[in-house]
Amino acid sequence: MKRKLGTFETLYTLFIAGLGFYVLARNVPDLSRPVEAFFLLLLVLIGEYSPVPVPRGDGSISVSPPLLFTVAVLYGPGLAVWIACIATIRKKDLLGQVPIPIVLFNRGMLSLSIYGFCKVYALLGGVQGVFSLARDVPAFIAAATTYTVINAFLVSIEFAFMLRTSLISVWRTNIIWSLPNMFALFPFGLLMVLVCAQGGPLYLLIFLLPMFVAKYSLEKYIELRDAYAEMAGALANAIDFRDSYTRGHSERVAEYAVMLAKELKLPDDRVELIRYVGLLHDVGKVGIRDAIMKKPGRFTFDEYEEMKSHAKMGADMLMGMKFLGRGQDWVRYHHERWDGKGFPDGLAGEEIPLEARILACADSFDAMTTDRPYKQRMSFEDAREELLRCSGTQFDPRVVQAMMAVIDKLIANRK
Ligand SMILES: [Fe+2]
Ligand SMILES: [Fe+2]
């Protein structure tokens, strides 16, 4: 379905589109060698074919920038801005699946980015049509950096509008991870310029294969991230299915923990990790006997000891999962208490990782507000009082404070 743009987003997209079209009008392409120009257009079109989507939002990354750099250095801004504008039009743009202001914005944004490249390159002594490895590399790097920065900056503002979030959050989630890939394309671009300057544009064909390999690795990286999330979700279901009373528990703990982490202004990468660890925090329960897991009444001392072992067991199970990083510790310590009376290691205060303190609070809140075999569920309001009562003993007071705001939001959403 086509997205509806807000007023400010429309104004911003049309402003960038307008600037881009001004640049296009001022830079008429030199078409004295039409076959060459058409061939370059075709190459960028191929480079743009099925671009790699970014993890969130509607954006994507293409491997055609090095080609555009080559056109900019050897053929000048006229051809570069027009090819950047035309060759990047996608099927969904033509089929009307993208709002028109966004289609125009993308044209403007790309024209401006490559125009920025040309300007900086010329300013630093680069001469159109000739390229000397000894003289022009710094100008090329500076120009390519300019292209990347303009592009990333304009796109992140648009994403901030689209995702209704802050520029910093967009930068962290959608931009930063893609920058190393962009910078890695610079040497590739340099090589293309050299080869094209020496042998002509036909030689650029030899770059298509490595270009697609680069695109393929990016796609795999994104698929891998999605696979982690799916795997964590599947494991969470497996844990919760063992006990009908805790169905959905892991999902809810992950949701509350994410809300808490955001409330405490943790960076997005840590928030994302908390989501995975929230889903997996009770994974050690798969090693607990059914007789204990499904026991309707209270535990004996020995049974409780066995139940407690799930925290340590869960952490051990996740040991080999590199992508969870310190997340195993958070699983291990999710039953520690602020006053040091928790398990498995009896850590106290800030000895317990913040994320484990967050999980402890989210975990207890869900336990209080869902029916259990031995007790009826509490209302959100009563659970809020209980958390406040245990602040400074069972829970970190700072986390409880943040949880108050989270509960307010949960109550508001329920109404
Ligand atoms: Fe637990
Ligand atoms: Fe739990």
Helix and strand totals (H; E) in the chain: 18, 2
Residue 185 to residues 11, 66, 70, 288, 349: CA-CA distances in angstroms? 32, 6, 12, 50, 47
335 alpha carbon – ligand 1 mean position (Å): 6
Single residue among 164, 188, 220 that ends a domain in this structure: 220
Closest ligand to 314 CA? 1
Roughly what angle, to the nearest 10 degrees, separates helices 77-86 and 34-48?
40
Closest ligand to 254 CA? 2
Q: At 365, is the secondary structure helix, strand, or coil?
A: helix
Beta carbons within 10 angstroms of residue 323's beta carbon: 13
Same domain, 119 and 215: yes
Structure tokens at 345: 């290691």
The confidence score (pLDDT) of residue 371 equals 83
Structure tokens at 14: 């049309």
CA distance 64 to 176: 19
Single residue among 220, 255, 276 that ends a domain in this structure: 220
The confidence score (pLDDT) of residue 148 equals 93
Same domain, 336 and 247: yes
Query: 79 near 198, Cβ under 8 Å?
Result: no
Structure tokens at 48: 């743009």
Query: What's the number of domains the chain is made of?
Result: 2
- Identity at 340, one-letter amino acid code: G
The confidence score (pLDDT) of residue 229 equals 82
The confidence score (pLDDT) of residue 1 equals 52
Same domain, 192 and 246: no
Same domain, 260 and 350: yes
Domain that holds residue 307: 242-414
Query: 81 near 114, Cβ under 8 Å?
Result: yes
The confidence score (pLDDT) of residue 291 equals 85
Residue 30: partners with Cβ closer than 8 Å, 6 or more residues away: 37, 75, 76, 78, 79
Same domain, 130 and 160: yes
301 alpha carbon – ligand 1 mean position (Å): 17
Angle at 114 between CA 113 and CA 117, to 5 degrees: 95
282 alpha carbon – ligand 2 mean position (Å): 5
Same domain, 213 and 326: no
CA distance 395 to 307: 21
Residue 56 to residues 52, 160, 164, 202: CA-CA distances in angstroms? 12, 11, 12, 37
Same domain, 252 and 190: no
Show pLDDT as tens, one digit a residue, over the chain (415 residues). 566 778 888 899 999 999 999 999 999 888 888 999 999 999 888 887 766 665 554 556 666 889 999 999 999 999 999 999 998 888 888 888 888 899 999 999 999 999 999 999 999 999 988 898 889 999 999 999 999 999 999 999 998 888 888 888 888 777 887 787 788 789 989 999 999 999 899 988 888 777 677 778 777 887 888 888 888 888 888 888 877 667 789 999 999 999 999 999 898 778 989 999 999 999 999 888 888 887 877 889 999 999 999 999 999 999 888 878 889 999 999 999 999 999 999 999 999 999 999 999 999 999 999 987 777 889 999 999 999 999 999 999 999 999 999 999 999 887 6
Closest ligand to 284 CA? 1
Q: Is this model's pTM higher than 0.75 or not?
A: no
Same domain, 285 and 209: no
Same domain, 264 and 384: yes
The confidence score (pLDDT) of residue 295 equals 80
1 in any annotated domain: no
Q: What CATH number does the domain containing 358 carry? A: 1.10.3210.10
90 in any annotated domain: yes
- Complete DSSP assignment for 216-243: HHHHHHHHHHHHHHHHHHHHHHHHHHT-
Q: What is the DSSP letter of 205?
A: G
250 alpha carbon – ligand 2 mean position (Å): 7
Active site residues: 285
Same domain, 259 and 333: yes
175 in any annotated domain: yes
235 in any annotated domain: no
334 alpha carbon – ligand 1 mean position (Å): 7
Q: What CATH number does the domain containing 15 carry? A: 1.10.1760.20
Same domain, 205 and 322: no
The confidence score (pLDDT) of residue 245 equals 63
Same domain, 68 and 142: yes
Query: 339 near 394, Cβ under 8 Å?
Result: yes
CA distance 210 to 97: 31
Query: 361 near 387, Cβ under 8 Å?
Result: yes
